[in-house]
Structure 1
């Protein structure tokens, strides 16, 4: 009788020990997870929300190809090459760069030495950063770039973001962070064409460590994706957004009161509290009071994806609808400037025609669309191509990396900067960044390159070899449509 009586307490004791061991293992696992997440976060050089600088200066930077405009027609713009060289010269500790393209040296420099000069100079200056003790860190989706290999051999750190595995999209982001203090965001790639042959637009913000700190967190997000084929479900707090649409950074830009924040896309790449690019664009357009001026290379409210071996295309409404709402319901003046080039999709003309028809029977309705095109434009060089990607209103500006194409926002990685002037009426005595961007748009809009283009079927076929898209209307859940496509 004694045996059975003593075995039961032993079993209970063993169960308790097993449960306790499991709880201990779970606790240790949790601690390891969160400690590893904190370790993943990069050192932020002691810059915090409390001690960072909010008294900043901002400069519009553009690249205007030779002979596109008279030299005196630039207004307050700074040449893009000058802006980037200035950032390199100012760097004391670190430069963090994201670019979808690395082609600063042309494929045949002997045939166009003058056009390639700025790209070559920029590349050579990057190679000399090591001798100055400046650390260069690059996040890229390129696996076989000779330029990145050369930079790596000169002490640059390069991390690979596998966009194909992560979203089946591409990396469109283009920005710099210098010493966690100065930043660049814009349309230009690290491509010699961006410094010579293409029209580019962006901004350089100096002495603005608060904004630079937040953009650095986007860079850290990319940095931690190195060689991963999935986006982790748990992230370091150091990639959490500091500012966003509902809590923008209050700052001074050249003595004018303003607010600003950084947005990203696609949604999978939006860390906690980060505003999506599409929401940022909505915010800018919906807050406009009198006008909305948009300049993009391509406008196409469609998302294309592969589904069960076939290519399926659907209407992507967010941007198209917010433009229609602004024009029809709020009587906002909208000007849309789109590039007309070798890769312009034929359906762009259909959507543009649909937008223009909104004002046919309405009083006080103003929506105009023009196409920017240059007679010497060629696909290989893209001379004169309007590569801008921005929207400016009477009180805000959004400058991003994406064209206004549904697939870009859904699958491709991009970054945008929103700046809103708080006292835009009181600031009319001095020019702000809004005035400079608006002046750049009006210069392009009124130029001989901006045309009310009407293209018939014969001209369209002659211009480019594209087939009409098969628009399949299928009843599916929204989550199915949002699955990535192989672009």
Structure 2
């Protein structure tokens, strides 16, 4: 009950009344879509779920559907199971479906889900080894229908992402952004065919293609070398936007560290974003960075502590409580990748903020200059930030590393 009251207060603080909430939250060209972890007390009645939005998009498809994903994992009776049922119906009525999954995502994928998707009439399923293209992975999560409506968000094509993980995304009808998403998918689809036949794919860009940061709404993506015309480079856009901040930046991520992704001691230093955050603090901008407890591993937590001691900087780490059924592997976590600046600009994307995402991997980020949308994203941030699940990061404290894979034996009752 206390958490529900906190959520209602956050809505009120940002000018949103839970008593007058609609079934959806839209601004011109965009609908904000949200997954609240079941039982965490972070429900948002004015925001539709991705399963509802994806199902509606698939049901409305008349000619083609394109889906890009890191991996796939469904379970019978879940929301994603029902979405796949809608895909099966679309395929049976003649809709052409193309599904592109990262080759390295097989480690997290469910083979039965892959087989089910491949059995859908008119669906072609391909694996892309993006390492042979940009050096990283396909980490983007997106859906395009009839080249007229699209979805970009943090939700993986995973039943847990639709029910047990904090996720944020956008349904997009803005024509130019949808066209650029279609162009990206087309490029990657063709690249897969070339790589599969042993051919090398040449970069499209040998110089940085900067985004028009003054635009009201635009798409940025990575890696820069394989972005089509009209799509700016996310790696340069993110620090540039932070550089425009004048009062407050709110950030929510799975994890944050100025190192390349990977394990062990071979993680290269990656200061692109970290330098921008520290420069904003030096200008007097207040920064609120919220990450999941997966970020408690070393040396990541030490970098967070080094930020937390700076004037104007607050860092909080969130632990989502388990459900009554017990531990769900790789779930019960905040996974949204969002930023708001000065209550006027919203950034909603698919990248984690460390090396290997915005420089070598396929990721997508949507930027919208709209105070209403920015305020609603900030309210989602505040709901988790001010909840009992959030704990401040301080230099002198220790933080437990969660059992995200459910490897530990629970204590006897």
TM-score (norm 1): 0.68
Does structure 1 residue 349 correspond to structure 2 residue 301?
A: yes
> In the alignment, which residue of structure 2 is the partner of 1:408?
357
Judged with a 3 Å threshold, the aligned counterparts in structure 2 of structure 1 residues 345 and 153 are, in CA distance, closer, same or farther, namely: same
Structure 1 counterpart SS, 2:38: coil
> In the alignment, which residue of structure 1 is the partner of 2:114?
148
Does structure 1 residue 315 correspond to structure 2 residue 269?
A: yes
Judged with a 3 Å threshold, the aligned counterparts in structure 2 of structure 1 residues 464 and 223 are, in CA distance, closer, same or farther, namely: closer
> In the alignment, which residue of structure 2 is the partner of 1:48?
none
Pairwise CA distance, 1:63: 0.8
Q: 2:314 aligns with which of 361, 364, 368?
A: 368
Q: 1:93 aligns with which of 49, 63, 67?
A: 63
Structure 1 counterpart SS, 2:309: helix
Report the structure, 1 or 2, having the larger helix content. 1
Matched ranges for 1:4-15 at <5 A: none
Moved more, 158-167 or 96-105: 158-167
Judged with a 3 Å threshold, the aligned counterparts in structure 2 of structure 1 residues 334 and 374 are, in CA distance, closer, same or farther, namely: same
Structure 1 counterpart SS, 2:245: coil
Aligned partners of 2:190 and 2:394: how far apart in 1?
A: 47
**Residues matched between the structures, number:** 365
Judged with a 3 Å threshold, the aligned counterparts in structure 2 of structure 1 residues 313 and 405 are, in CA distance, closer, same or farther, namely: same
1:185-238 CA deviation, whole Å, 9 max, x = no partner? Answer: 1000110001111111111123x3222111111111111111416652376x9x
Judged with a 3 Å threshold, the aligned counterparts in structure 2 of structure 1 residues 458 and 84 are, in CA distance, closer, same or farther, namely: same
Q: 1:163 aligns with which of 130, 144, 157?
A: 130
Structure 2 counterpart SS, 1:66: coil
Structure 1 counterpart SS, 2:359: helix
Structure 2 counterpart SS, 1:358: coil
Give yes or no for contact 2:309–2:394 (8 Å, CA) kept in 1. Answer: no
Give yes or no for contact 2:64–2:145 (8 Å, CA) kept in 1. Answer: yes
Q: 1:195 aligns with which of 162, 165, 170?
A: 162
Judged with a 3 Å threshold, the aligned counterparts in structure 2 of structure 1 residues 448 and 190 are, in CA distance, closer, same or farther, namely: same
| Unmatched tracts of structure 2, length 5 or more | 1-26, 406-413
Structure 1 counterpart SS, 2:334: coil
Aligned partners of 2:166 and 2:199: how far apart in 1?
A: 35
Structure 1 counterpart SS, 2:239: helix
Pairwise CA distance, 1:67: 1.4
Aligned partners of 2:386 and 2:49: how far apart in 1?
A: 21
Aligned partners of 2:262 and 2:332: how far apart in 1?
A: 31
Judged with a 3 Å threshold, the aligned counterparts in structure 2 of structure 1 residues 272 and 384 are, in CA distance, closer, same or farther, namely: same
Pairwise CA distance, 1:94: 1.4
Does structure 1 residue 61 correspond to structure 2 residue 14?
A: no
Pairwise CA distance, 1:161: 1.4
Aligned partners of 2:189 and 2:71: how far apart in 1?
A: 17
Does structure 1 residue 446 correspond to structure 2 residue 386?
A: yes
Aligned partners of 2:200 and 2:125: how far apart in 1?
A: 19
Structure 2 counterpart SS, 1:193: helix
> In the alignment, which residue of structure 2 is the partner of 1:327?
281
Structure 1 counterpart SS, 2:137: coil
Judged with a 3 Å threshold, the aligned counterparts in structure 2 of structure 1 residues 328 and 459 are, in CA distance, closer, same or farther, namely: closer
Does structure 1 residue 436 correspond to structure 2 residue 376?
A: yes
Aligned partners of 1:357 and 1:203: how far apart in 2?
A: 34
Give yes or no for contact 1:161–1:226 (8 Å, CA) kept in 2. Answer: yes
Give yes or no for contact 2:42–2:383 (8 Å, CA) kept in 1. Answer: no
Give yes or no for contact 1:165–1:230 (8 Å, CA) kept in 2. Answer: no
Structure 2 counterpart SS, 1:301: strand
Does structure 1 residue 232 correspond to structure 2 residue 201?
A: yes
Alpha-carbon RMSD across the aligned residues, in angstroms, is 3.0
Does structure 1 residue 137 correspond to structure 2 residue 137?
A: no
> In the alignment, which residue of structure 2 is the partner of 1:25?
none
Aligned partners of 1:461 and 1:152: how far apart in 2?
A: 38
Judged with a 3 Å threshold, the aligned counterparts in structure 2 of structure 1 residues 279 and 458 are, in CA distance, closer, same or farther, namely: closer
Give yes or no for contact 1:56–1:205 (8 Å, CA) kept in 2. Answer: no
Aligned partners of 2:281 and 2:398: how far apart in 1?
A: 32
1:392-415 CA deviation, whole Å, 9 max, x = no partner? Answer: 112211111111111323332211
1:82-109 CA deviation, whole Å, 9 max, x = no partner? Answer: 111121122222111101111122xxx5
Judged with a 3 Å threshold, the aligned counterparts in structure 2 of structure 1 residues 230 and 327 are, in CA distance, closer, same or farther, namely: farther
Moved more, 83-92 or 440-449: 83-92
TM-score (norm 2): 0.79
> In the alignment, which residue of structure 2 is the partner of 1:103?
73
Judged with a 3 Å threshold, the aligned counterparts in structure 2 of structure 1 residues 248 and 266 are, in CA distance, closer, same or farther, namely: same
